[in-house]
Structure 1
């Protein structure tokens, strides 16, 4: 169920609302906090006692929140982060263990597929999602980072493809997205060793875009989100779609995807305005149409 938005006085750019996903008081603490400030939404994983491990409830809440935010025309960028000392320590193995013990069909249905659906949703999302990695990003948490469009990390952030250490492989898309993020050989080493690596190595590999002091993480993420949110939203969506659909295509197919995306945005009011503003040497005014 969605809570009606509450608005601050003034323009829509000062809009603020929280808890798009309404808490059920019979189910204990809310595992996800959703806050919208102007054109930027922040999704915060709030299971700090479990290092923000991704259990079935949290995955479900994330999916519901993403559905709601996609339909909110005023939200143009999303930040995903964690509370406490972890971004996310990965899948909630304790919760999924009974399904593992039941056998492959149950493990795939209740463990692998929900995680893959989440990361696929993030990967293909029509609005930019920025990971603000505030701490540990292990296993499924690292896979969430891999699926986001942009990632920034605190200097203290630590990453690991740790699944090998408990006898399984990455199950939320990591065997496929990590090589696409950082290259086959680097990904193979990390997946097969399960070793921990820091934020600077993650940046050098291409897993994250920027590393900054811990206290600068959220200001940096907000600055980046607001900068992107100021761009024409239909064009941002077209660019995200072309990148996502073209990443596995041969060059000719990728160029065809780019052409189709370009053709779709040419008739938009914002595209006409942007080109006209450039020619007339003035700032463009984008309205999202």
Structure 2
């Protein structure tokens, strides 16, 4: 059987592809576990500075949870459902949200349910013009379990989020961009090119500074401003003794390109 997540390295960027196109890249346990393992491996590699996450085939990024696969856990009762289904899915989206390297989601089609929740968790996201986003869990009799009821309102506002959650109505890529769910809409044929251009630009900066930006925003966004400023100051303090900060300042003063080493 093919791996549920495909890995390719392009320069300093890892391309991870959800690889269940016949199932619209629906998230089953194997895919979720494999994706987390891939992220672990990419984090450990110094030669990888950014990750692009996209879907296999030309129809979907991910149509959401593979309900047929999850149904036995749900039928087994609350304890099993929480352990095998909810906690696993929440751990996946939390891993993406707190990842110390930029994760860029390239939405190449449908992003429903869990596919939308991955997009919500990622720090950056691009989508093709044909992409659609939906929170359709209510059709199945439950609320989003992988973080969607919490992240979506924070991204697009309470009333917009509740309309999506309570009606299951999809929104277009342009609406998702206008709402703040994604960064930009691009032609489908240029989606990965644009994602690689974005990752390449970020990868030229200090990986320590990139991680500090990601951590400061992610940890500080939902706390009072005083706590957020303390978080920001803490990340800056960590950078002061590093080679990359010294090099960045020296390069600026000497009017030359910096050479960041991630130390």
Normalising by the smaller structure, the TM-score range is over 0.9
Report 1:1-289 matches (<5 A): 28-84=1-57, 85-289=59-263
Aligned residue number for residue 6 of structure 1: none
Partners of 1:199 and 1:208 lie apart in 2 by: 8
1:268 CA displacement:
0.9
CA RMSD of aligned residues (A): 0.8
1:107 CA displacement:
1.4
1:262 CA displacement:
0.5
Partners of 2:2 and 2:235 lie apart in 1 by: 42
TM-superposition CA deviations, 1:54-113 (whole Å, max 9, x none): 000000101111111110001000000001111000011111111212222221111111
Aligned residue number for residue 5 of structure 1: none
Partners of 1:81 and 1:126 lie apart in 2 by: 19
1:36 CA displacement:
1.0
Partners of 1:239 and 1:196 lie apart in 2 by: 32
- Scaled by the length of structure 1, the TM-score of the pair is 0.89
TM-superposition CA deviations, 1:162-204 (whole Å, max 9, x none): 1011111101000111111111111111111110111000000
- Scaled by the length of structure 2, the TM-score of the pair is 0.98
1:242 CA displacement:
0.8
TM-superposition CA deviations, 1:103-139 (whole Å, max 9, x none): 2222111111110000000000010000000000000
1:247 CA displacement:
1.3
SS in 2 for 1:281: coil
Question: Which ranges in structure 2 are unaligned for 5 or more consecutive residues?
Answer: none
Runs of 4+ in 1 over 4 A off after TM superposition: none
Partners of 2:74 and 2:260 lie apart in 1 by: 50
1:276 CA displacement:
1.7
SS in 1 for 2:8: strand
1:282 CA displacement:
1.9
Partners of 1:266 and 1:195 lie apart in 2 by: 48
Partners of 1:114 and 1:47 lie apart in 2 by: 19
Partners of 1:113 and 1:203 lie apart in 2 by: 29
How many residues are treated as equivalent by the alignment? 262
